[in-house]
């Protein structure tokens, strides 16, 4: 559904051109996990040793890097691993 722009400045016109769904303008961003919160990988990630932690693996945030720019997450399954991941690659889960 296209967005109709009426009487907006250049920045708003640029933003409206980027948004194809007007509901996105009112949708709150997803909440970022906090320390010791359980999270789930949304896509496979590789450890520094080259082992793959599959999507769907659940772990615990053990450290928040920067202003939630990245997270250190500890996994126990399918093997013990510590990964640094970006917010877009995880989601909070309740267990």
Per-residue pLDDT reduced to its tens digit, 21-59: 555 556 666 789 999 999 999 999 999 999 999 999 999
pLDDT above 70: residue 63: yes
Give the tens place of pLDDT for each residue, 70-91. Answer: 999 999 999 999 999 999 999 9
Per-residue model confidence (pLDDT) at position 11: 47
Residues forming CATH 2.30.30 domain(s) in the chain = 38-92
Distance separating alpha carbons of residues 65 and 31, to the nearest angstrom: 16
**Helix or strand run (H / E) with residue 84:** strand 81-85
**Spatial contact of 93 and 39, defined as CB atoms under 8 Å apart:** yes
What integer pLDDT is reported at residue 13 of this predicted model?
45
Name the β-bridge partners of 63. Answer: 72
- Model pTM above 0.75: no
38-92, CATH topology level: SH3 type barrels. (2.30.30)
pLDDT given for residue 64 in this prediction: 97
Which residue, 33, 58, 36, is CA-closest to 45?
58
């Amino acid at each position: 559904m296209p967005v109709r722009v009426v009487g907006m400045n250049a920045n708003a016109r640029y933003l409206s051109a980027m948004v194809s769904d007007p509901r996105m303008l009112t949708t709150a961003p997803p909440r970022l996990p906090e320390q010791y919160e359980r999270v789930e990988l949304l896509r496979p990630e590789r450890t520094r040793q080259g082992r793959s932690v599959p999507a769907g693996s659940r772990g615990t945030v053990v450290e928040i890097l920067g202003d939630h720019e990245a997270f250190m997450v500890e996994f126990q399954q399918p093997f013990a691993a510590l990964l640094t991941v970006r917010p877009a690659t995880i989601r909070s889960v309740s267990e």
